[in-house]
Structure 1
Amino acid sequence: MKLGSLKSSESKDGQLCVVSRDLKTAVKATHVAASLREVMEKWSEKESALQKLYTDLNEGKASGAFAVKEEDFHSALPRTWLFADGSAFIYHIKLVRMARKAALPETLATVPLMYQGECGQFLAPTEDIPQRDFSHGTDFEGEVGVITDNVPMGVTPEEALKYIRLYVLINDVSLRGLIPEELAQGFGFFQSKPASALSPFAVTADELGAALKDGRIHLPLHVKYNGEFFGKANAGAMHFHFGQLIAHAAKTRNLAAGTVIGSGTVSNEEHGNGSSCLAEKRMIEQIEAGAIKTPFMKSGDTVEMQMLNEKGESIFGRIFQKVKAV
């Protein structure tokens, strides 16, 4: 099943829609629930009605179906209670730590890194990335993520996988120029992590088929920068799977339904796969050529992210954003 949130002037949560498997048509599902945020809080009550509507839509039987225009959709979940972003790709951690001359954590391979990000206002997947000071070092970070049901405190990693309801893509916007000073203060990210964007559509596990195994999505994340190939790193290379990330977040608290857990930047050690963020590419340039050539984003630069199935069809729709000076 694929779900989205049609933009609405009446609600910051948008209007709940069911979207066809090929992402060509959609139908409003506001008779089932007003928004996806509401669905997440009542998943067991709402899932069957949404699944029936999805089946009808794919069979051409849904009344009120309309053609999908991705620019009409917000992030799949426009706002929620918690966005906890992990860093499950160890090679990414090594590269970015090297870039800022920071030591690797002693628990690198045993304890996930995680921060709490902005979740009250995700950018739409086709919305401009606002930037007022380009010395801040605007960067994109391509990630995969999950949306959970209510998760009990102290859940085990294996049990945690059972609470995943939906999967999404994430562009975790980062301001690299602000990160070192913030971290040096010893209190973590805040100003350096503004609003991010989710893919226009969230999907259930069955939409990923055999690519979903061991708590990981074993598919490449296709990234283009200013219209050119930038990366195709495989998300299956996560060191920590989603169950481990969820359990880490729930170690000392219950997680509310609708919690978004991010994988961190998708990263592979094979440099031929490219990168999912500028910081990595810059560090690889330093390693391989002895000098950084790629600048951070400037006004007018664009980034595109999507993930394709075995037929070459987009699974989550496309994140396509342009940087805009404000």
Structure 2
Amino acid sequence: MRIVTYRHEGRERSGVLRDGTVFPFVDDADVLHVITNGLVDVAKTGTPLAGVRLLAPLRPPSVRDFVAFEEHVEGVRRSIDGSAGVPEAWYDAPTFYFTNPHAVYGPGDDIPFPAASVARDFELEVAAIAGPGGTIFGYTIFNDFSARDLQGREMKVNLGPAKGKDFASSLGPWIVTADELDPYKKDGFLDLWCVAEVNGAEVGRDLLGNMGWTFETMLAYAARDSIVRPGDVLGSGTVGNGGCLAELWGRNGTQDPPPLKDGDEVTLTVEGIGSLTNRITSGHVTAPLAKVRRRDQAKARSERQD
């Protein structure tokens, strides 16, 4: 089953996509309600998909983004800070970071990068949507947009990624319920081909099944000593073999292919799910920050002695 959120005749609604037609949920139930409480009835009449504007399929309560592909880790480390190989700590557990659930865009949306960023990148991922009771409700495509120049600076403080990531990510085009993708499972992993294109030219292709951990393991780890709620998004991490530009930069030693620029279109396609396209733009130019107040060490010592 494919579950969508869309705008039609000035209204935002959610429903089910069947044979090219969107049928809205009754009583205007939204996707988060359906994930939490179970499927509800749909209207008997629908609207052709071509006649609606697809939106991000849900507004997630939280977004955890994992890093489950060794090849991606190796390439990006070399690109960001010149390090080689994969840290041994990566093999201990499926590491993740939290990104911004309030800056989630949908299919066809323009993505406003920080205006000052010149190392703009996409990241090809699949996201699992948490269901009730530690289950996985479904899957969608996830683009974790990255300002690599901002990311490289802030991660020197060993607290990141932060501003290099929190400006935008996109989900879509819809949620495919977990049962539909069961035929693709092999030893617990989803063997789905994932392809990234920039302006129609392929730059990356990999199997989702090359993940180091299954989504079920990542979900269990996220819930350990913590709380995962229905509708929470868990990103797979970026696939290898060109799932992002930074991985290729690290392997090639130069920014080839070049960073994204205004007007570029990024299309991510995942077997069994669909395609998600976004266009790159620049956000508003921001004012300079106030200068940091540096600590006067001599004065601080003197004050402590007094």
TM-score when normalising by structure 1:
0.79
Q: CA deviation at 1:215?
A: 3.6
- After superposition, the C-alpha distances for 1:250-287 in whole angstroms (9 at most, x for unaligned) are 1221211111000000114xxxxxx121111222322x
Q: 2:228 aligns with which of 255, 265, 270?
A: 255
Whether the 8 Å contact between 1:5 and 1:200 is mirrored in structure 2 is no
Q: Counterpart of 1:15?
A: 13
Q: Are the aligned partners of 2:8 and 2:52 in contact in 1 as well (CA < 8 Å)?
A: no
Give the distance between the partners of 2:138 and 2:191, measured in 1 at CA. Answer: 16
2:136 and 2:90 mapped to 1: Cα distance? 25
SS in 2 for 1:318: strand
Distance 2:275 2:63 in 1: 20
Q: Which amino acid aligns with 1:325?
A: S
Aligned-partner residue type, residue 137 of structure 1: A
State which of 26, 34, 44 in structure 1 corresponds to 2:29. 34
SS for the counterpart of 2:193 is coil
Distance 1:121 1:8, change over 3 A: farther
Are 1:67 and 2:48 counterparts?
A: yes
Deviations 1:94-150 (A, max 9, x none): 111111223642222221120001112310121011124253521100101111124
How many matched pairs? 280
Which stretch shifts more, 227-236 or 139-148? Answer: 227-236
> Could you tell me which residue of structure 2 aligns to residue 316 of structure 1?
273
Q: Could you tell me which amino acid in structure 1 is paired with residue 44 of structure 2?
A: S
1:111 to 93, 96, 100: 93
Partner of 1:185: 157
Return the match for 1:276 from 221, 238, 243. Answer: 243
What residue ranges of structure 1 are gaps of 5+ in the alignment?
Answer: 54-61, 152-159, 269-274, 309-314
Alignment of 1:27-106 (within 5 A): 27-31=23-27, 33-43=28-38, 47=39, 49-50=40-41, 53=42, 63-69=44-50, 72-77=53-58, 79-99=59-79, 100-102=81-83, 104-106=86-88
Contact kept, 8 Å, 2:173 with 2:275, in 1: the verdict is yes
Change (3 A) 1:209 1:246: closer
Give a deviation string over 1:56-105, Cα, whole Å, max 9, x none: xxxxxx7222211387011111x121100000011100111111223642
Cα distance per residue 1:274-313 (max 9 Å; x no partner): x121111222322xxxx443221111111101223xxxxx
Q: Which residue matches 2:294?
A: none
Q: Which residue number in structure 2 is paired with residue 167 of structure 1?
A: 139
Task: Call closer, same or farther: CA 1:284–1:30 in 2, change over 3 Å.
Answer: farther
Partners of 2:69 and 2:238 within 8 A in 1: yes
Q: What TM-score do you get using the length of structure 2 for normalisation?
A: 0.84
Displaced runs of 4+ in structure 1, greater than 3 A? 8-11
> Would you say the 8 A contact 1:149–1:258 is kept in 2?
yes
Structure 1 residue 192, shift from structure 2 partner: 0.8
| Alpha-carbon distance in 1 for matches of 2:211, 2:187 | 10
SS in 2 for 1:107: helix
Closer, same or farther in 2 for the Cα pair 1:9/1:35, shift >3 Å? farther
Matching residue of 2:181: 208
Q: Which residue of 2 aligns with 1:6?
A: 6
The aligned residue for residue 240 of structure 1 is: 213
- Please name the residue that 2:126 is paired with: 144
Query: Structure 2 vs 1, CA of residues 70 and 76 (structure 1 numbering), >3 Å: closer, same or farther?
Result: farther
For the Cα contact (< 8 Å) 1:70–1:317, is it kept in 2? Answer: no
SS at match of 1:256: coil
Residue deviations 1:182-210, cap 9 Å, x none? 21212222211122111121011222242
Residue 316 of structure 1 and its aligned partner are, at CA, apart by 2.9
Distance 1:88 1:132 in 2: 27
Which ranges in structure 2 are unaligned for 5 or more consecutive residues?
Answer: 284-306
1:301 matched to 2:264? The reply is yes
Residues 21 and 47 of structure 2 are in contact (CA less than 8 Å); yes or no, is this contact kept in structure 1? yes
**Matching residue within 108, 121, 144 for 1:126:** 108
Identical residues among aligned pairs (%) = 29
Query: Post-superposition shift, 1:232?
Result: 2.1
Structure with higher strand content: 2
Change (3 A) 1:175 1:195: same
Partner of 1:154: none
What is the CA RMSD across the aligned residues, in angstroms?
Answer: 2.2
Quote the Cα distance in structure 1 between the aligned partners of 2:243 and 2:280: 17
